[in-house]
Structure formats: C-alpha cells, structure tokens
Chain A
Amino acid sequence: MSVLAIVSLKNGQPTKGGLEAASYAAAYAKSLGTDAVALISGSIDGDGGLGATGVQRVLVHAGGITDSSQWAKLGAAAGLEIGADATVISHDHFGRAVGPRMAVRIGAGMVSGVTALPKSGLVRKNVFSGKAMADVAVKQAKAVYSVTPNAFGIASDGGVATTESFDAEVGAVREQVVSFHAASEDGQVPLPEADLVVSAGRGLKGPENWGIVEDLAQALGATTACSRPVSDIGWRPHHEHVGQTGITIRPNLYIAAGISGAIQHLAGVNQSKVIVVINTDPEAPFFKAADYGIVGDAFEVLPRLTAAVRALNS
C-alpha cells in the first residue's frame, strides 16, 4: 500500500494544486507508515520541488499529456505499479476531470474537495458552499481524494525525491489544447490561487474608482476580485466575479469594500481564513461573517490602508 499523488505541470513546473496534492499525499502516507509517490507527465528540472513536499519518488511520463481520458489510464497504471490504495489530486479543472475518471477506472470511491487528512476511515469536506462540513466514508477498497485549494498548504520540509521514467498505454488524444490566455497581464496571482484578495462591490459607485482598490491590492501583493453586479454591468472583468455563480476562493485574507454580503456572495468567500469588511452601513450583513470590520467610507479608508501597508513595507 502506498499513496499516489497526480501532479499537473505548467511551464515545466508542478502547479500550486499539484504541490498541495503531493503534500497531502505525503502527510497521509506518513500517517499510514508508508510512502508517497508522485506522477507527472512532461519534463521537470530535478524533482521539481516535489521531494520537499515529502514525496519519496516521482514517476515521470515523458508524453506531456493533457487529455483527461489518457491521464486516467496513466494514473490507473501508475497506481497499479506502486500498489496505491489512495490517489490524491488537485480540486481544479484538472482534478475535476481526471479524478472522477480514475475513480471509475479503478473502481474507487471519490471524495472531492477534502480539507483534512482521512482519519479513522472518514475524510472531511465542505458542503452547502461552506455552510456545513461532511465526514465521508469511502465504501470501496480504493479511494480518490481531491484537495481543496489553500486548505492544506504546501509542505517544504521533505527531502529530495528520486525520479524514474514511467510509461503506459494511454490511448488516443481527443482533447487538444490549442491556446492559453492569461487572465491578467499584470502578473497578479490568479484568483483561485491567491493568498490575499482585495474585493469591491457596488459601493465603489463606478469603474473609474477602482484605482484605490488596485492600489491596496498592489501594496499587499494581493489579487483583485468583485461582486457579481459589478462584473455584470461591466465595471470589472468577468473572471473577477466571486460567489455562488462565480469563482469560489479560500484565501488567507479577503478584504471586501462596498459589498453588502449577500448570501450568494458569501458562498464564494466564506471559507477565507480572515475576512475584513469595509462598509458605510453598520447593518450590512457582511459584518456578521467578518473577523475585522471598519464602518466607514471606502473612498477614505482604502487609501489609508494602502498608505499603512506601504509604511509597514518600507
């Protein structure tokens, strides 16, 4: 028995989600007294930082595949090779395609979006958009877990992993990636991966006022987000929309200015570790979900916060 981590690459390096999956696999393997093995497709420098997460071996498939059906076949073959009962993958577009396919292929039970290690046969995940948690039992001998972004963290105290080449029959390509468009040209961390997020809503009154939001984000090294009406009316790009019908995020810090805190908005952000709310209305529902609040005008408060961050950094 060992634990397999399936790790996707971007520009020759493991993705953040891939490193989180490897860290989770390594910690779980350790709790079982066994080894964790990572599987990649493509090429990396050395062990690509995977050893540091606690993984002992990296199986390198040279093909650089992206097709979800090919990945499921590759993952199933690797699992068989190392005798894995548990497979761990990221809960992003990659894991949501490959994880369930692999579960079907190997007859495993799958629990998606886990937030903690399995314990006594149960694993925890968030349900009802973060309004409740479920402890789930897998009824099959094998399990596939996908790890919620930012829930588990990336370990860095491991060693160096050995790499070995691995090949398997993966079948034909049917999904062909033709191009990639970066969400932002200004080098911001993409929203689903961001640790720090500064977000604003209709209280900002118009797109011309977003400079104060961007300034604070830039000072903090944070990514900008917005409420749904703001992206619907075109004040901000669609990819910034967080909430029930937009992106779900889980940063360490979420600062919300001029957002009322409607339940559909909260559904996308209430798993943030620390929430700060800035609103002129002391009765705004968002304060109930916040850790820190400032009752005040965003047009005055945001620049003061930016100045304070810059003072701290200099």
Chain B
Amino acid sequence: MKILVCVSQAPDTTSRIAFTEGGKVFESSGVQYIVNPYDEWYALVRGIELKESLGGSVTTVTVGSAACDPVIRKALAIGADDAVRLDVDPTDAMQVASLIAGYATDKGFDLILCGKETIDHNGSIVPAMVAEMMDWPFIALASKLEVNGRVASVQRESAGGTESVEVSLPLVLSAAKGMAEQRIPNMRGIMSARSKPLLVESGQAEPATEVQEFTLPPPKGACKIIPAEQAEELIRLLREEAKVI
C-alpha cells in the first residue's frame, strides 16, 4: 500500500488572531504553528496504521515555504517514511490541489489521505479538487477506513447518521474524527525523523480566489446574568427577547 498524506501547518488553536496590512495578511509573528489537527490525528495516523498492517510506505506532501519544515519533521517523527515539500507559499485551494495532484500523478499511490479541513481557512476544498484532478473517487468526512485488496470500506458522516460506502482504489479521502487515535511521537521517532528524507521541489500554480480582507467579528455584548433562583426568567428571555424558542 503506497500512501500519500497531505499535511498542512496551522496556527495553534490558542493563537491570537490578528491581521496586518489593512486586514489583508494574517499576523503570524508570535504565532506557534502546529500540524493541522485533522491531518495529524486522523489522516496521518490512519495512514501509518494501514502501512503497519498491510505493508508499504507513507509519504507526506506539504505545499508551503521552509517555514513548514518543523511541522513536516513532526509528521516524520510520528511515523511517516519520507516527506515532500512543494516550495510555494499558497493562497488558495486550487493552487494547493494543482501542486499536489501534479506531484502525485504517475507515482503509483493507492491512497491519498487528507484532513477534513485546515483550521485557519476552513476550506474543506483541497481534497476533492485533488480527486477530480487525478480522476479518482473521493469520500469526504470519512470516520473509518478499511482496505481489502483493491476495495476500501469507508464510513462517512452524512445527514442524520453515518453511511458505509465501498470504493475502488486508488482513492482520495478527507478524514474526520473517529478515523484514528492521536499518536504522540516517542524519542526514537523524534531522533529518526531528523535523518528521514525531506525532498523539496519547486512548482507553479495559479490561485482561483483571493482574500480581499479579513475582519474580526464585532465584540460580543456583555453576558446577561440571571440569578440561579430565577432560572425561569431565562426561558422567558429566550422566547420574548432573543426569540429563539
């Protein structure tokens, strides 16, 4: 099983969100970057588990500048065999997908595993774009993946429950909660990650969209505190003031 995992970096969830240059650019100074949680906890770990049970290899691919290298080393420490970085600082999903599909074409991968979405742009676009560019089947929001020969059994979130889907390989999917349990890299993993191959390739692709401006939501009005002994008053307010029930 030859597996490619798409790994992006994302600002740590506790980061302060601010913008510069008239709201055009995310203020990254002082921000700690992490592996995008869906990529790390779910896509990467499931890829490594499949390799452990079926044999094969796990390669990670990241579209980004050298600033992504620490995050890529973390993915190697968790257990990927090697990594590729496509050296473009992306601004849009179409651009990322073209570069990933361009890299993956004709490399003989059986599976391309992505996270459900990046937690900064919240796109959930790249994975299906890669699938279309490769002309492979695709499953979004997968919570389980088993592989039997050339058929994958996948579960996905769907309106009101989960659906079981059978899909032929090669396959692209985006991974959501349930797919795997988070793995903490051990000392041996961290040491060996330093010497695993991280290939850097240049590339070029055009974005199809552009963020004109980021804005922060208006500050939330003060919370109205209702005394516990008058809990019933809350229900009246929800009906008459907030009009939500």
Q: Say whether B160 faces chain A, with CB atoms less than 8 Å apart.
A: yes
Contacting A at CB under 8 A, from B146-167, are 156-167
Q: Which residues of A contact B215 (CB under 8 A)?
A: 132-135
Q: How far is the CA of A18 from the CA of B228 in the complex (A)?
A: 41
Most buried by A among B17, B125, B215: B125
Q: Which residues of A contact B162 (CB under 8 A)?
A: 180-181, 183, 239
Q: Say whether A295 faces chain B, with CB atoms less than 8 Å apart.
A: yes
Q: Say whether B128 faces chain A, with CB atoms less than 8 Å apart.
A: yes
Q: Say whether A88 faces chain B, with CB atoms less than 8 Å apart.
A: no
Q: Can you give 13 contacting A-B residue pairs, CB < 8 Å? A: A97-B128, A101-B138, A104-B132, A110-B93, A112-B122, A128-B120, A132-B216, A176-B165, A192-B159, A287-B223, A291-B221, A308-B231, A308-B232
Most buried by A among B121, B160, B224: B160
Q: Say whether A294 faces chain B, with CB atoms less than 8 Å apart.
A: yes
Q: Which residues of A contact B (CB under 8 A)?
A: 10, 15-17, 67-69, 72, 91-94, 96-101, 103-105, 108-113, 122, 125-140, 174-183, 190, 192-193, 196, 220, 238-239, 241, 244-247, 252-253, 263-264, 267, 273-274, 276-277, 287-297, 300-301, 304-305, 307-309, 311-312
**Known contacts A104-B129, A112-B123, A180-B161, then 13 further A-B pairs from the complex at CB < 8 Å, ordered by chain A residue:** A10-B159, A68-B131, A68-B138, A69-B137, A132-B215, A137-B210, A175-B138, A177-B165, A180-B162, A181-B162, A190-B161, A192-B159, A304-B231
Q: Which residues of B contact A (CB under 8 A)?
A: 11, 13-14, 17, 19, 37-38, 41, 92-94, 97, 119-129, 131-133, 135, 137-141, 156-168, 174, 177-178, 207-217, 220-221, 223-228, 231-232, 234-239, 242, 244-245
**B160 pairs with A136, CB closer than 8 A:** no
Contact of A101 among B94, B131, B174, B213 (CB under 8 A): B131
Known interface pairs A132-B215, A183-B160. Does A263 touch B13 (Cβ–Cβ under 8 Å)? yes
**B224 pairs with A128, CB closer than 8 A:** no
**B237 pairs with A295, CB closer than 8 A:** no
Chain A contact residues: helix, strand, loop or mixed = mixed
Q: Which residues of A contact B14 (CB under 8 A)?
A: 263
Quick one: closest B residue to A130, CB to CB? B217
**A69 pairs with B231, CB closer than 8 A:** no
- Please give the distance in Å from A228's CB to the nearest CB on chain B: 9
Q: How far is the CA of A72 from the CA of B239 in the complex (A)?
A: 43
Quick one: closest A residue to B152, CB to CB? A175
- Please give the distance in Å from A309's CB to the nearest CB on chain B: 6
Q: Which residues of B contact A247 (CB under 8 A)?
A: 157, 177
Contact of A288 among B92, B156, B223 (CB under 8 A): B223
**B138 pairs with A129, CB closer than 8 A:** no
Contact of A16 among B122, B123, B137, B159 (CB under 8 A): B159
**A291 pairs with B208, CB closer than 8 A:** no
**A93 pairs with B157, CB closer than 8 A:** yes
**A129 pairs with B13, CB closer than 8 A:** yes
Q: Which residues of A contact B41 (CB under 8 A)?
A: 245
Q: How far is the CA of A311 from the CA of B233 in the complex (A)?
A: 12
Q: Which residues of B contact A311 (CB under 8 A)?
A: 232
**B17 pairs with A241, CB closer than 8 A:** no
- Please give the distance in Å from B218's CB to the nearest CB on chain A: 10
Please name the 6 residue pairs, one residue from A and one from B, whose CB atoms are nearest each other, closest first: A296-B228, A109-B208, A100-B128, A101-B132, A174-B137, A308-B232
Contact of B124 among A113, A126, A293 (CB under 8 A): A113
Q: Which residues of A contact B227 (CB under 8 A)?
A: 294
**B13 pairs with A67, CB closer than 8 A:** no
**A305 pairs with B234, CB closer than 8 A:** yes
Q: How far is the CA of A129 from the CA of B127 in the complex (A)?
A: 19
Q: How far is the CA of A103 from the CA of B11 in the complex (A)?
A: 27
Q: How far is the CA of A29 from the CA of B234 in the complex (A)?
A: 40
Quick one: closest A residue to B133, CB to CB? A104
Q: Which residues of A contact B178 (CB under 8 A)?
A: 238
**A176 pairs with B132, CB closer than 8 A:** no
Known interface pairs A109-B209, A112-B125, A304-B232. Does A96 touch B140 (Cβ–Cβ under 8 Å)? yes
Contact of A253 among B37, B131, B211, B238 (CB under 8 A): B238
Q: How far is the CA of A290 from the CA of B238 in the complex (A)?
A: 13
